[in-house]
Amino acid sequence: MYEDYFGFAEKPFSLTPDPKYLYRSESHANAFELLQYAIRRREGFVVVTGDIGTGKTTLCRALLEQIDRRTFSALVLNPFLSEDDLLKLILQDFGVVSREEMKAGRLNGVSKQELIDTLYDFLLGLLPLRASAVLIIDEAQNLPLQVLEQLRILSNLETDKEKLLQIIMVGQLNLQGLLRSPELRQLDQRVSIRYELKPLTRDEMAAYIAHRIQVAGGPSAVSFTPKALHAVHRFTGGIPRLINLVCDRALLGAFSARVSRVTHELVERAADTLELRPVEQSRFAWLRRGAAAHAASRPQPTTLSYR
């Protein structure tokens, strides 16, 4: 609706995880570089967590776009899979079997062990090519326990010198608690790198909004007043998905009013239609941040932990 009026080539605040819109805040840039490092170094298991709407899926897709041709990748977006279905999907994404062959039922009746053996043979075949493989699982907090155990078994696919399969699990904050459960202790011990995505700061959010407007081809005449930016952060807490919702609705309000500057009144009206309330900042937040920073700075005997 408002795209033509403002001169956008496309919707700037869409909720789809388009990697070209990834804004590399300090936290997102650190996560991106850490994941690239883990893939290059074949670090085994990596866990990235973040609150709902912090841009985890967009980060995954941006990472896949940057992977070189010698790295085979598999992306699992639906965690509600059986062990066999997970293995079949991995083989399909790696190109061992085609989608048409899967639809034709080529793997029907194949045992789980045969699927694992096929994957192992494929991974071993990458070594002479100096190639590698990475498996990325989004929404990993929803994986059934038996599938998580299957991933632990897949992490055992290795040579005497290196892991054959890099596994990156991306999920909401409760994924860390799930991995620490007694049933998954063996899997948790295999995690070499952990990272938690943070919401955007006030300054990062302003740069994020400007970035999305620029990527969408918007003219420089479209702008948010300083009070409007403050209001956006107050209602969203720096969560990118909520920022997109509020900004999209605020731009619609600006279009209806035939103005090119988004004011705090428009933002507040947008937040009200979305039934959002200001995010309260606890007066003890600074103390918790200090405690978390101190804990993160302590030596970690088995993992690299980033907070």
Average pLDDT (273-286) is 70
Same domain, 193 and 205: no
Instruction: Return d(Cα 26, Cα 211) in angstroms, integer.
Output: 15
Same domain, 123 and 193: yes
Same domain, 168 and 77: yes
Instruction: Return d(Cα 104, Cα 61) in angstroms, integer.
Output: 29
Same domain, 117 and 257: no
Structure confidence at residue 268 (pLDDT): 97
Average pLDDT (50-55) is 95
Same domain, 235 and 130: no
Instruction: Specify whether the CB–CB gap between 84 and 54 falls below 8 A.
Output: no
Phi, psi angles (nearest 5°) of residue 199: -65, 165
Task: Flag whether 137 is in a domain.
Answer: yes
Residue type, 141: Q
Domain count, the chain: 2
Structure confidence at residue 281 (pLDDT): 54
Which residues are CB-contacts of 244 (< 8 A; sequence separation ≥ 6)? 13, 14, 15, 212
Domain containing 243 equals: 2-16+201-273
pLDDT in tens, 142-198: 999 999 999 999 988 888 788 899 999 999 999 999 999 999 999 999 999 999 999
Same domain, 220 and 179: no
Task: Flag whether 280 is in a domain.
Answer: no
Which CATH number is 72's domain given? Answer: 3.40.50.300
Task: Flag whether 78 is in a domain.
Answer: yes
Instruction: Return d(Cα 225, Cα 207) in angstroms, integer.
Output: 13
Task: Flag whether 302 is in a domain.
Answer: no
Same domain, 111 and 217: no
Structure confidence at residue 79 (pLDDT): 86
- Percent helix, strand and coil across the chain, each to the nearest 5: 55, 15, 35
Strand partners, 304: 193
Structure confidence at residue 230 (pLDDT): 97
Same domain, 144 and 186: yes
Task: Flag whether 56 is in a domain.
Answer: yes
pLDDT in tens, 101-120: 888 888 888 899 999 999 99
Same domain, 41 and 158: yes
Task: Flag whether 21 is in a domain.
Answer: no
Task: Flag whether 283 is in a domain.
Answer: no
Instruction: Return d(Cα 85, Cα 91) in angstroms, integer.
Output: 10
Same domain, 176 and 143: yes
| DSSP letter, residue 169 | E
Instruction: Return d(Cα 132, Cα 71) in angstroms, integer.
Output: 5
Same domain, 249 and 154: no
Strand partners, 265: none
Same domain, 254 and 123: no
**Domain end marker among 197, 230, 246:** 197
**Domain end marker among 164, 197, 230:** 197
Of 307 and 196, more confident:
196
Global pTM exceeds 0.75: yes
pLDDT in tens, 212-268: 999 998 777 789 999 999 999 999 999 999 999 999 999 999 999 999 999 999 999
Task: Flag whether 147 is in a domain.
Answer: yes
Highest mean pLDDT among 2-6, 145-149, 278-282: 145-149
Average pLDDT (269-278) is 95
Q: Residue 42: pLDDT band by 50, 70, 90 thresholds? A: confident
